Structure formats: C-alpha cells, structure tokens
Structure 1
Amino acid sequence: MNRAHIPGIIAMAAIVVASNILVQFLFGQWLTWGAFTYPLAFLVTDIMNRVYGAPAARKVVLAGFVVGVICSLIGTQIMGEFGPLVTVRIAIGSGIAFLTAQLLDVAIFSALRGGAWWRAPLASTLVSSSVDTILFFSIAFAGSLAFIHPETDVAWASEALPLLGFGPVAPLWVSLAIADWSVKLLLALLALIPFRAITRRLV
C-alpha cells in the first residue's frame, strides 16, 4: 500500500464510523446527524481520485466498505429500545448503496477528469449520491422489498404521511429519503470549496 494513501483511508474510515454512530441521533423530524457526515465520504473519494488517480480512490472505497460492514455487524448485535440498532435490511442496504455509489463516483469522476476543475467532483457526487439514496432507502425500508429479510419489521417506515409534512401523502421512508438526498445535494456544492483548496495544495 502506498503510504500517501493512508490519510485518505483513515479519513474514510473515520467518516464511516462517525456516520454509523450519528445516524442513531435525530436532527429534526426527517434527518439524523449522520446525514451531515456521510456525504463527506464522496469528498474524500474525489480528492483521492484527483490527486492519486482512480486505483487509489477505489482502495479508499474498499477500505470504507470493510469498515462499514464491521460497523453493521456490531450494530446488529446491539439491542436498542425497539430491537437491534442495525437491522439486516439496513445492513444490506447500507453496504450495497455505499459500494455501488462510491465506485460509480470514481468512474464518473475519471470520465470527466479532463474538464473544468469543478465538473468532475460535482457531477460524480450528484449522480452517485442520488444512487446511494435510492438504493439505501428502498432496500432498507420499502415494503415491496420485504422479501429481502421478512423478519425485519419496517412497518413504521411505510406509514402514510404528508411528504415532508406538507406535500402529498407518501410512505414515511420517502420523506426521509428526500430529506437525506437534499442534504447530500447541498453538501455536494459546499464540498467544492475544500475540494479545490485541498487538491491545489496536494497536486
């Protein structure tokens, strides 16, 4: 392993661990604190890609995936008020969403590498974070995918409520997904500032 990649691996691992912890704490009605830390994973991937290339970025992604799996396994063994802190469906959804979205981010960034400095990180993060949201929330909470692990009770997520409290009636998990996706889009724009500053310093 290239020693230059270690800071990226450590940063990714820290983000994954922090997000797995902070997702247990609510921020308002539709979000958790983890929604504000997890999108930083895309920033780390993009910085590694810009500075060291796609192979290095993929190494960081795989390291984050392994850490995430370990966190999920630990979470399934910790019992909370309503059962395990991490259900089997959440663990599966989290792993699939993370690996798929992060590798997609690497691919899109690499394809757009030659354009304006902001185009690759912005486009790759917007697309991949959208895929991440769709995959995670549908796998973890959609009633139509209950066959993934029938023993996991996610009936609460299918409660019909006004979208984000004021829109048309939709399952609760859809409001949670839209709120999470909105934070990711906002942070994708804000992340361009540290991306530019860090990559200019390292390249």
Structure 2
Amino acid sequence: MQSQTSFSSDKILWETFKQGDKKAFAMIYEQYIQALLNYGHKITQDESLIEDSIQDLFYELWNSKSKLAETDSIKFYLFKALRNKIYRNKEKNNFDVIDENQPLPDWLSEVSTEYSIILQEHEESQLSHLKKAIQKLPKRQQEAINLRFFHDFSNEEVAQLMGVNYQSACKFIYTGLRFLKEHIIYPILVVLITSYFEKF
C-alpha cells in the first residue's frame, strides 16, 4: 500500500481518492476509522447505528467520489458527514441518540498526543478528578471541548460541526474551560487552559 508520507497534504490525498485511487481510499479509511468510531460514541451509544452509519458513509464516499467537494481537512469532512449520517439514520430507524442532558461517554482515552503525554504524568486520582469535572459540564460544552482540544479542530470548525454560529461555539468552549479551570488543581492543565483565555 502506498505510504501516508507519499501524500504531502490532506488535499492531495483527497484529490487522489476522488480520481478513483483505491489505495488512497483505503488509506483514508485506515487513518480515520478509529476516530470516527470514537466520535460516533459522542453522539449515540447504539453500536449498530454507529457501525451502519460509518459503513454507509464510506460506501457513499466511494460511489460518489467524483462529485465530492474539495477539502483540505479530511478529518473535518468525515466528522461532519458522520454526524449528519447518524442523525439521518436515527430518524429513519428510530435509534436512541444521546439527548441534550445526558452526559457523554468517557472520552479521555481519545485525547490528542500532546494531552495524552500530559495526562499520563499525573496520578490516577488526578485523572479521575478531571473526568468527573468534565462530566459535570452540559453536553454541548463537553462536545465543544472534545472537538476543540481533543480532536484539534478550530473554533470555526467546531461551530460548523455542531451546527451553531461561531459566537455560540466560542461560548461553549470558554464557559466549559472556565468551569474546568476552577475545578482542576494540577498546574500543567491549568496553564494550558489559561493560555486559551489569553486570546480574549
């Protein structure tokens, strides 16, 4: 299989796939399947709905590849498409999607590499404290922080993924981080969170 380093950017990989390259398509699948499964669990706890939606997504991607829009962020494109697919399949099949007030499932195992290193440096009690603090946030704040800091999307991309305007996305992130900053005591994470507030 052609190595990932053969493609200098997401845009080139995506364009190669759109031209019918099966290796590029397989690379996209292998690179993002786990992230998509993880993100699916932020939306619903129904395994069948998640798996069926991902299967539908990749089936439709291949069959309509020449008609797809361009993108320079494959992860963003797939996350948005999966979110829409899950909600459409839910409406069609009456699956149980997580409601607005239900806490999201545990997603601390899915943090970005930078945050994984930081969190691994702390005792289990501190990790448990962070998880409990996050679970106290409203669902929309949890999702916004998850997308912004643990999947590395920009504020603009978070807004698009969540289907809200830019100001609302920023408010979800700001309010959630403010709560965590007040409830997390270990220094490194506090410094990282504080750095976000310096932009305002």
TM-score normalised by length of structure 2: 0.33
TM-score normalised by length of structure 1: 0.33
Q: Find the structure with the greater CA-based Rg.
A: 2
